[in-house]
Amino acid sequence: MRKLFGTDGVRGEANKYPMNAETALALGQAVVYTLKKGHAHPKVVIGKDTRISGDMLESSLEAGITSMGGDSYPLGILPTPGIAFVAQSMRANAGIVISASHNPYQDNGIKIFAGSGFKLSDEQEEAIEDLMLSNTLHELVPQVKEMGRIFSMEDVNGRYIVFLKNTFPRDLSIEGIKIVLDTANGATYRVAPAVFRELGADVEVIHNRPNGININDHCGSQHTRNLSEKVVESAASMGLAFDGDGDRLIAVDEKGDEITGDQILLICANALKKQGKLNNDLLVTTVMSNLGLRVACKKYGLKHHASKVGDRYVLEDMLRLGSVIGGENSGHMIFLDQHTTGDGIVAALQLLAAMVRSGKPLSELAKMMDIYPQKLINLDVKSKPDIATVPEVMGVIERVEKALGEEGRVLVRYSGTQNMCRVMVEGPSDSVTETYCKEIADIVKSVLG
C-alpha cells in the first residue's frame, strides 16, 4: 500500500511529515539512485512555485541529489509544465517540481517528471517510494569524490517563453486583443504576461505580486470573481486564470461569465476537427466531466472517452487511444501535439486560436455546450475505506441514482491529495441537484467524517 505518493506526487502541510526537509532529502537521493543504473552523474532539474516553503524543500532536494552523486540544476520559479519542458529540452534525466498546485500556501508538494517530459508511471513512483521507506539510503551514498554538483542555468524563463509562443499558429494574430490575466500570485506571474504581450495582445494582469503566502488566495483558476469584474470593467475580450503552478486554465468571456475546462476542451477539440487535426476525432476527459459535454460531443461528431480522475490517467488513455486532446473540467488540459503535460498557457493559446479562427466572441463559442446543473460538496474525512464497502453510503447513492434515472448521475470519490471525499450530483434542475447532493453528503459526513 502506497504511503507517500498520491495521484500527483507527494503532498502535505509544509514543514511537517511527509512534506518536510527529511523527506525531500530522501526523495532526492532515491530518485538519483534509481537513475544511476544507466548514468554516472544523472542530471536533475528542479523548479518551484512561489510558496514560502519552496526554498527549504529545494535545498533539501539538492542535498539529496548531490549526496547520491547526481547533478542538480535549480530553475527557480517556473510553472510545472515549464519544468517538464526544460527537463526534456536539455536532455536531463528527471525534472522535479515543488508545488501543491491549487492548494493554499500552507501546503506543498513534490512531483517528478522523467527526462522525456512525461510524469513518472505509478510503478516508477512505487520503486522510489519503496527505496525511501527501506531505511537503506544512507548505506548507498557514494564516496565524496563521486558526489554531484549544483549548476546554474541561464535564461530559463526566456527558453520557455519561446517554446510557448511557438505553440500559437503562425497564420493567426492576436495583435491588439485585450486580455486580462490572473496569475494567482503563482508560478506564471512572470512568464504568462510576457508570452501574450510578445504575441501582440493588450494585456492587463492581476494577482501577480507573490509574497510567499498569497498564492491561490481568493484568486486564480478556482476564484474567478476578481477576474470577471476586471474583464467587464476593462471591456476585455477574455480573462484567463491560471492556478498556482500554471498547469490549469479557467477562462472568463467578455461578459464576465466563467468558461469551464469542459467548455474549453470542446471548443478546442471542435476547432481541431475542422482543421483535420483531431486524431481519431477523439476527446478524452474524466468521469467528473459535465453530462452536457457528452451531449455536445455527439452533436459535433466527436468521440468521447471518460478516464479516471487525474491528469495522469487522462494522459495514459490519450496515449493508449491515440488522442491529441484531453483534460479535466477543473482546467487541466493536455494538447499532446504541443506538450507532454498539462499546460495552462498552452491551453490559453489554443483557446485564443480557436476564437480567432471562428471570428466569434468567447461567449458565443461557450454556447456550444449546455451545462447540466451540478453540485459538488467536499467533505473532510478521517479515513478512506472503499466506498463500495460502506453500506450506508452505497444505500443513499443507489436511492438517488434510481430517482434521477437518465436525467442525472452521482459520483462519490476520494481526493487523491487530501483527506477529503467529493460528492458530485448532476440533475435536471438546481434544486433537485442540490437536494440530492446534500442528502448523500450528510450520510458521508455522519459515517466517515
Among 101, 228, 289, 330, the one annotated catalytic: 101
Burial profile 197-210: b = 16 or more Cβ within 10 angstroms, e = fewer: eebebbbbbbbbeb
Active site residue 101: yes
How much of the chain is in helix, strand and coil states, percent to nearest 5?
A: 40, 20, 35
Q: CB of 335 within 8 A of CB of 347?
A: yes
The set of residues, in sequence order, having a beta carbon less than 8 Å from that of 299 and lying 6+ positions away, is: none
Q: CB of 365 within 8 A of CB of 433?
A: no
Q: CB of 215 within 8 A of CB of 100?
A: no
Q: CB of 73 within 8 A of CB of 46?
A: yes
Q: CB of 444 within 8 A of CB of 425?
A: no
Number of helices followed by number of strands (H, E) in the chain? 15, 18
Q: Is 162 left (phi over 0), alpha (psi -120 to 50) or beta?
A: alpha
The x, y and z cell numbers of residue 32, run together, are 538519483
CA–CA gap between residue 384 and residue 415 (Å, rounded): 9
CA–CA gap between residue 183 and residue 206 (Å, rounded): 7
Q: What angle do CA 423, 424, 427 make, to 5 degrees?
A: 140
List the catalytic residues.
Answer: 101
